[in-house]
Structure 1
Amino acid sequence: MTPYHRGELIAQRRAGLLDEAVHVAAMINTKIPYFARTFLAEQPMLVIGGADHRGDVWATLLTGEPGFITVTGPSTFEVAATPAPGDPLHDVPAQVGLIAIEPGTRRRVRMNGTAHPAADGLRIDLAQIYANCPRYIQKRSPVRVPTTPATPREGDQLTAEEMGFISTTDTFFVATADLDGNADASHRGGNPGFLRALSPTHLRWPDYDGNSMFNTFGNLEVNPRAGLLLPDWTTGTLLHLTGRAVVDWNPGHAATVPGAQRLVDFTVDRVIRIDNASPLRWTAPELSRFNPPSH
């Protein structure tokens, strides 16, 4: 028995890391470990990803005072928040991928499962939960401020301002889903410049050495739709992108980018930017010592 689906196994074999993936599968739990119960209760934000009614995949951010995530059962927790009107995941999909991440301590917990409406927000019935390593997480701490989200800007390509912002980002999140809609949300980090906007509809980033599970790439093997979330840590703006991602497995191409094992090309289909979407403002980052040099 394996916790991996067909696409993940294909990606693990292509990378030559199937044995490593089998080894780290022991990390995957179906019940919430004690450390995760405490960790979730302390978090002021939660990244969530999934497919909308059209099949487009998006990622977004839920926030609240610490305690807004409450473990209610061995494999169940509740979130006292939902995506706001105008957010691309306002109508929360049934199948979701989630990341609870604490940049200040470089800890993160990755989860996926089924979302249900609850009295104060959402109830999540988990299928999988496991911790990820701290590599590529930039250290920063939050302050909560009152904020009113702006009217979303929607389009089919990035503006020059948004392309400039992308060139300075050190962190983003990527959501993917398999053909059955089972969703995953993943963190990507690096030095500013590691994510490149090659045109208003074309992004590229390096894939660095990771946990060998290939959850994101496994989904992309069977379903190229993907969603990116780029938070502006200083203003609370959230930049949501949906489109299609293709993994470039050519080692010669990866060799041109420091630290890259592979490259990923993302084609933008739709853009939603919501200024002041998040009430969290974060300190200047302490970049991870694991980040390879950017271009």
Structure 2
Amino acid sequence: MSQGERELQEKFSTKRRADAFYNNQMIDYLNEHMIQFIQRMQFLFISTSDESGHCDSSFKAGDPGFVYVVDEKTLMYPEYRGNGVMASLGNIVENPHAGLLFIDFLQDQVGLHVNGRAKILENDQLKNLIKQTEIDKLAQFHQKRAERWVVIEVDEAYIHCSKHIPHLVDQKFLEDRSVDEPSKNTGDYFKVKSSHD
């Protein structure tokens, strides 16, 4: 918890509720229920900042299980080929603190925050963290698309309650809309590039 949290809890008289949350909902490791939750997630949001505190948030996705839980204090996710900017990775180089948010919009409408310290591992460095048999399984699972990995050492994990999380439907099981909406398959969905022309 931060000093800012405590100051605002005092100011707005929420300290009692906050203490109940800290005591009953927040832990410094991943319990079995959290691990099972992470293993079925298809995406996450990650927040990072550089050494000056300038923030960035990003979205990472893959097949269920793309986030690999090493143990109750460690998880990792793959970095696939992207736009080459490497904003999150660049921030991690300067400042290891990172926040992950997993949200289940489809089934239980609940979220999981995982905050900790991040580091970047190249594929050939994984042998220092997990067994070769697991490395081989990961290579097959990700079809050798993982260019490198972000490893998170867990400092705290806690629920994001379901109160304001909407229930969404996974359209890919209903219809393939990629043919009807080709603009979603381009890198200029928000028309930023065309505004420079």
CA distance in 1 between partners of 2:150 and 2:112 (Å): 19
- Identify, as 1 or 2, the structure richer in helix: 2
Q: Which residue pairs with 1:202 in the alignment?
A: 74
CA distance in 1 between partners of 2:42 and 2:165 (Å): 20
CA distance in 1 between partners of 2:165 and 2:68 (Å): 27
Structure 1 residues 168-209: Cα deviation after superposition (integer angstroms, max 9, x where no partner): 110101100011110000000000111011211110111100
Give the conservation status (yes or no) of the 8 Å contact 2:123–2:147. Answer: no
- Identify, as 1 or 2, the structure richer in strand: 1
Q: Which residue pairs with 2:168 in the alignment?
A: 282
Of 237, 241, 244, the residue aligned with 2:114 is 241
Give the conservation status (yes or no) of the 8 Å contact 1:178–1:219. Answer: yes
Q: Shift in Å at residue 53 of structure 1?
A: 4.3
Identity, % of aligned pairs?
27
CA distance in 2 between partners of 1:243 and 1:153 (Å): 17
Of 143, 149, 170, the residue aligned with 1:263 is 149
**1:2-41 to 2 correspondences below 5 Å:** none
Q: Shift in Å at residue 279 of structure 1?
A: 3.4
SS at match of 1:221: helix
CA distance in 2 between partners of 1:274 and 1:166 (Å): 13
Q: Which residue pairs with 2:188 in the alignment?
A: none
Q: Shift in Å at residue 274 of structure 1?
A: 2.9
Task: Kindly name which structure, 1 or 2, has the bigger radius of gyration based on alpha carbons.
Answer: 2
1:174 is aligned to 2:43: no
**1:1-295 to 2 correspondences below 5 Å:** 53=2, 153-233=25-105, 234-251=107-124, 253=126, 257=139, 258=143, 259-284=145-170, 286=172
Q: CA RMSD in A?
A: 3.1
Q: Shift in Å at residue 285 of structure 1?
A: 5.5
CA distance in 2 between partners of 1:228 and 1:260 (Å): 19
Runs of 4+ in 1 over 3 A off after TM superposition: 52-55, 250-256, 287-290
SS at match of 1:220: helix
Q: 1:245 to 1:277 in 2, by over 3 A?
A: farther
Q: 1:210 to 1:54 in 2, by over 3 A?
A: farther
CA distance in 2 between partners of 1:252 and 1:285 (Å): 38
Report the residue type matching 2:92 in the other structure. L
CA distance in 2 between partners of 1:54 and 1:184 (Å): 22
SS at match of 1:161: helix
SS at match of 1:209: coil
Length-normalised TM-score, structure 2: 0.65
Structure 1 residues 96-138: Cα deviation after superposition (integer angstroms, max 9, x where no partner): xxxxxxxxxxxxxxxxxxxxxxxxxxxxxxxxxxxxxxxxxxx
